[in-house]
């Protein structure tokens, strides 16, 4: 069981998730402090660790649109947040997959801050309303990266395979 | 069934004869571009090699380009240290195409790549910047990726697990009215199909309006395709592309355009009649919040920005200088101009555009991204409003969440700088 801690609308951009003025900061251990920096209240709650890892942000469609800045995914991953959105922007989704930020596309989701959700394989149940919502599966190509533990591990494996093949040849 | 430009390029780069939307491929990358965020790519790159016993070497230093543009000259010690780290990495790896902070060869990455002939039709181009879509203007398949994905490209030379995107055909007919142009067309398109209208798809631009458009204008269309959610925006290469590559970019070898098959399958066709368009404005705080200029005329503006990878080219500065020559920027409004590259800066100087702009009251900045992403060189005050030829108007984009940004063409920006309020350039601009 996990709790919805924050709700945002459609087309939330990476400028909202991680403002451009903090882009010189790149280490995931440091990007966490700037998550939703322009929403002072939510940012303060995150910084004071008032939000438990595994908590959910509910979003509309096209979440993460805009810049390719990876900090937008790493700052949320660092807080252990889970993002449930109607849909995600392409680069943000790929960054999330690559870095291990948990994102689920739940097109019909109805949930409000404070609601308790049960995230199961292929569906999400809102315990307050009792309603159940299907989760769109990740395309298999992206699931393979998630299963490997992210793109660093996946690429490392491919690199070692390639090095092994070169040796054999 | 035939293939679109994107499908043809992905098939070639993946060693296949045919691909269809949804297929998963691993295309070879022809060109991998980064800017200051290469500092993060370098971290991730070293992480990949950790524990492998292999020496971290990039797959091909000749295919990597790095351009400093987001924060030039460095606005903070942190940025300066990142830039230093990138220089050292390039030297160690033999990456020779590093466009540093220089007045002879510096500029915005999306201007440098075409200008120096690094991009060719048919290439797979990736960049750690969402506006990498720009390079589709030359008939390449160009897309933005994150830093970790770039580290993977630097390691293996391929994009892992790419799904072939479906393509939307944009058919643009007719001729623009005076003071209406490519920026108005792309803003109109984004308003029409919305910020997610092309999500996970490619926009392929067709029609007489595009055929008559020079590469500078096509760069505007491809650049902002990402604002409709598109993976890439493409104008198939033609005679104008080849002319540009030869005359402007100094490309000597034979270039073979990739054209779509006549029976290519499109997910959707969007028609636009260019002659019907009035100047377009994207209102705060989303790029698809687009209206005709008449609906927001007289909105007071404190800052006008002309520049960026979208509209900082010579023709943009020419239009602005023509409108502003002999006139003054309104009191209470400041005009900031960012030429997109050193070459453009120099030519604008030689042609007298910079003099005309300065005499009107404009501040000419060094080439770079400037205030577009809210880091430096023109943040907005609380409650202030900007009108900009840039590509994004998200809340907080220009450095302050308590400010607003409207987007427009260079003609609209220049005409509005004179009046201090959003102005239709067809009325406020002098006739030529």
CATH of the domain at B354: 3.30.499.10
Q: What is the pLDDT of residues B9-20, one digit of tens each?
A: 999 999 999 999
The answer on pLDDT for B208 being more than 60 is: yes
B196 Cβ under 8 Å from any chain A Cβ: yes
Interface list for B 398-417 with A (CB within 8 A): 399, 401
Element (H, E) at B68: none
Q: In terms of CA atoms, which chain A residue is nearest residue B159?
A: A155
Asked whether the beta carbons of B106 and B342 are under 8 A apart, the reply is yes
Place of tokens 């050193």: B342
Same domain? B212 vs B154? yes
Q: Are residues B264 and B234 located together in one domain of the fold? A: yes
Subunit contact B373:A158, Cβ cutoff 8 A: no
In B51-140, the DSSP E strands lie at: 64-67, 97-99, 124-127
What is the ipTM for the molecules in this complex? 0.96
| pLDDT one-digit tens code per residue, B67-116 | 999 999 999 999 999 999 999 999 999 999 999 999 999 999 999 999 99
Contact A62 B152 (CB under 8 A): no
Gyration radius from chain B CA atoms: 21
**Higher-scoring residue by pLDDT: A123, B431:** A123
What pLDDT score was predicted for residue B145?
Answer: 98
Chain A residues touching residue B128 (CB < 8 angstroms)? 68
The pLDDT value recorded for residue A166 is 78
Report the alpha-carbon distance of residue B257 to residue B243 in Å, rounded. Answer: 12
CB contact under 8 A, A151 and B148: yes
Identify all chain B residues contacting A154, using CB atoms and an 8 Å cutoff. 152, 160
Per-residue pLDDT of chain A (169 residues; tens, 9 = 90+): 999 999 999 999 999 999 999 999 999 999 999 999 999 999 999 999 999 999 999 999 999 999 999 999 999 999 999 999 999 999 999 999 999 999 999 999 999 999 999 999 999 999 999 999 999 998 888 999 999 999 999 999 999 999 888 777 6
Record the tokens describing residue A83, joined without a space. Answer: 């993002």
Same domain, B121 and B141: yes
Tell me whether residues B130 and A91 touch, CB distance under 8 A: yes
> How many angstroms away from the CA of A90 is the closest CA of chain B?
6
Going along chain A, which residue ranges are E strands?
2-7, 56-59, 82-85, 102-105, 116-120, 123-126, 132-134
Distance of residue B321 Cα from the nearest chain A Cα, in angstroms: 30
Residues 6+ apart with CB under 8 A from B200: A90, B163, B165, B166, B229, B231
Note the helical H segments in B94-193.
109-115, 147-156, 182-193
Query: Chain B window 10-29: which residues touch A at a Cβ cutoff of 8 Å?
Result: 24
Are A159 and B48 in contact (CB < 8 Å)?
yes
Q: Which of B223, B247, B272 is the last residue of a domain?
A: B272
106-125 of A, contacting B, C-beta below 8 A = none
The answer to whether residues B288 and B163 belong to one domain is no
Given pLDDT bands bounded at 50, 70 and 90, which one contains residue B429? low
- From B50, B128, B396, residue closest to A19, measured CB to CB: B396
- Is there a single domain that holds both residue B284 and residue B243? no
Residue B22, both tokens: 């949804």
For residue A150, list chain B residues with Cβ-Cβ distance below 8 A.
Answer: 148
> Which residues 134-163 of A are in CB contact (within 8 Å) with B?
139-142, 144-145, 150-152, 154-156, 158-160, 162-163
Digit-coded pLDDT (tens) for B299-334: 999 999 999 999 999 999 999 999 999 999 999 999
Quick one: which H or E segment has residue B416?
Answer: helix B410-419
Domains of chain A: residue spans and CATH:
2-135 (3.20.19.10), 138-169 (no CATH)
Q: Whole-angstrom distance between the N-terminal and C-terminal Cα of chain B?
A: 48
- Asked whether the whole model's pTM tops 0.90, one would answer yes
Instruction: For residue B430, name the pLDDT band (cuts at 50, 70, 90).
Output: low
B390 shares its domain with B261: no
Q: Which residues contact B227 (CB under 8 A, 6 or more apart)?
A: B186, B190, B195, B287, B288, B391, B392
B200 contact A CB<8A? yes
The pLDDT of residue A165: 80
**Nearest-Cα residue of chain A relative to residue B132:** A68
* B397 interaction partners in chain A (CB closer than 8 Å): 13, 15, 20
- The reply to whether residue B146 touches residue A94, judged by beta carbons under 8 angstroms, is yes
The span from the CA of B15 to the CA of B242, in Å, is: 25
Q: Does residue B160 share a domain with residue B75? A: yes
Distance in angstroms (rounded) separating the CA atoms of residues B280 and B272:
14
Report in angstroms the alpha-carbon separations of B417 from A147, B192, B362, B393. 54, 27, 9, 18
Give mean pLDDT, residues B420-424: 98
Beta carbons within 10 angstroms of residue A43's beta carbon: 15
Are A141 and B161 an interchain contact pair (Cβ–Cβ within 8 Å)? yes
Contact status of A22 with chain B (Cβ, < 8 Å): no
Mean pLDDT of B372-379: 94
CB of A11 within 8 Å of a chain B CB? The answer is: yes
Same domain assignment for residues B19 and B56 = yes
Q: How many CB atoms lie within 10 A of CB B363?
A: 14
Q: Residue B198 sits in which domain range?
A: 5-272
Mutation pick from B146, B158, B288 vs chain A, by most beta carbons of A within 10 Å, is: B146
CB distance B146–A23 less than 8 Å? no
Q: Which of B272, B300, B326 is the last residue of a domain?
A: B272
State which of B237, B272, B307 marks the end of a domain. Answer: B272
One domain, residues B153 and B172: yes
- Distance (Å) from the alpha carbon of A26 to chain B's nearest alpha carbon: 6
Residue matched to tokens 């960012």: B338
Could you tell me if B47 and B183 lie in one domain? yes
**Residues B182 and B233 placed together within one structural domain of the fold:** yes
Q: Mean pLDDT across chain B, nearest whole number?
A: 97
Q: Does the distance separating the beta carbons of A67 and B146 come in below 8 Å?
A: no
Q: Please measure the distance between the N-terminal and C-terminal CA atoms of chain A and give it in whole angstroms.
A: 52
User: Among candidates A153, A122, A132, A138, which has minimal Cα distance to B155?
Assistant: A153
Q: Which pLDDT does position A148 carry in this prediction?
A: 94
Residues 63-102 of chain A whose Cβ lies under 8 A from any Cβ of chain B: 65-70, 73, 87, 89-91, 94-95, 98-99
Contacts of A73 in chain B (CB under 8 A): 146
The tally of domains found in chain B comes to 2
Distance CA B68, CA B142 (A): 19
C-alpha B312, offset from chain centre: 10
> Is B237 in the same domain as B287?
no
């Amino acid at each position: 069981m996990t709790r919805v801690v924050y709700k945002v609308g459609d087309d939330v951009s990476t400028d909202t998730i991680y403002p451009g003025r903090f882009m010189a900061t790149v280490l995931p251990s440091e990007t966490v402090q700037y998550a939703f920096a322009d929403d002072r209240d939510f940012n303060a709650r995150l910084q004071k660790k008032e939000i438990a890892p595994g908590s959910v942000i509910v979003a509309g469609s096209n979440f993460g649109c805009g810049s390719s800045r990876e900090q937008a995914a790493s700052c949320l991953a660092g807080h252990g947040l889970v993002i449930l959105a109607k849909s995600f922007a392409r680069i943000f989704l790929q960054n999330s997959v690559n870095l291990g930020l948990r994102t689920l596309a739940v097109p019909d989701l109805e949930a409000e801050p404070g609601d308790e959700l049960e995230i199961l394989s292929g569906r999400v149940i809102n315990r307050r309303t009792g309603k159940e919502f299907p989760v769109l599966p990740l395309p298999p190509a992206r699931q393979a990266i998630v299963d490997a533990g992210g793109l660093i591990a996946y690429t490392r494996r491919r690199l070692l395979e390639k090095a092994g093949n070169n040796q054999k040849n | 069934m035939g293939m679109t430009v994107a499908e043809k390029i992905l098939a070639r780069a993946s060693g296949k004869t045919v691909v269809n939307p949804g297929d998963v491929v691993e295309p070879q990358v022809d060109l991998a571009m980064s800017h200051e965020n290469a500092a993060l790519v370098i971290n991730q790159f070293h992480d990949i090699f950790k524990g492998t016993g292999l020496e971290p070497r990039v797959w091909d230093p000749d295919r990597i380009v790095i351009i400093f543009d987001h924060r030039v000259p460095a606005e903070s010690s942190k940025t300066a240290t990142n830039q230093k780290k990138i220089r050292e990495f390039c030297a160690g790896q033999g990456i020779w195409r590093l466009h540093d902070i220089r007045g002879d060869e510096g500029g915005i990455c999306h201007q440098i790549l075409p200008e120096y002939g690094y991009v060719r039709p048919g290439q797979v181009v990736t960049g750690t910047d969402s506006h990498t879509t720009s390079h589709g203007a030359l008939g390449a398949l160009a897309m933005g990726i994150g830093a970790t994905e770039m580290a993977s490209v630097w390691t293996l030379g391929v994009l892992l697990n790419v799904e072939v995107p479906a393509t939307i055909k944009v058919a643009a007919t007719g001729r623009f009215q005076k003071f209406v142009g490519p920026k108005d067309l792309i803003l109109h398109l984004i308003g029409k199909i919305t910020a997610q209208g092309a999500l996970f798809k490619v926009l392929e631009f067709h029609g007489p309006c595009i055929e008559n458009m020079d590469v500078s204008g096509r760069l505007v269309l491809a650049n902002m395709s990402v604002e409709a959610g598109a993976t890439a925006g493409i104008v198939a290469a033609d005679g104008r592309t080849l002319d540009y590559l030869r005359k402007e970019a100094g490309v000597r070898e034979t270039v073979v355009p990739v054209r779509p098959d006549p029976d290519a399958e499109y997910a959707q066709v969007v028609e636009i009649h260019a002659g019907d368009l009035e100047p377009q404005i994207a209102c705060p705080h989303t790029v698809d919040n687009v209206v005709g200029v008449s609906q927001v005329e007289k909105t007071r503006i404190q800052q006008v920005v002309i520049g960026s990878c979208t509209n900082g080219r010579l023709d943009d500065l020419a239009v602005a200088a023509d409108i502003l020559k002999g006139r003054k920027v309104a009191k209470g409004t400041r005009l900031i101009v960012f030429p997109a590259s050193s070459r453009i800066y120099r030519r604008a100087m030689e042609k007298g555009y910079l003099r005309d702009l300065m005499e009107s009251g404009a501040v000419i900045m060094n080439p770079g991204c400037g205030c577009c992403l809210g880091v430096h060189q023109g943040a907005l005050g609380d409650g202030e409003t900007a009108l900009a030829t840039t590509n994004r108007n998200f809340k907080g984009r220009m450095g302050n969440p308590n400010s607003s940004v409207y987007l427009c063409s260079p003609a609209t920006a220049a005409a509005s700088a004179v009046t201090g309020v959003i102005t239709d350039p067809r009325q406020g601009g002098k006739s030529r």
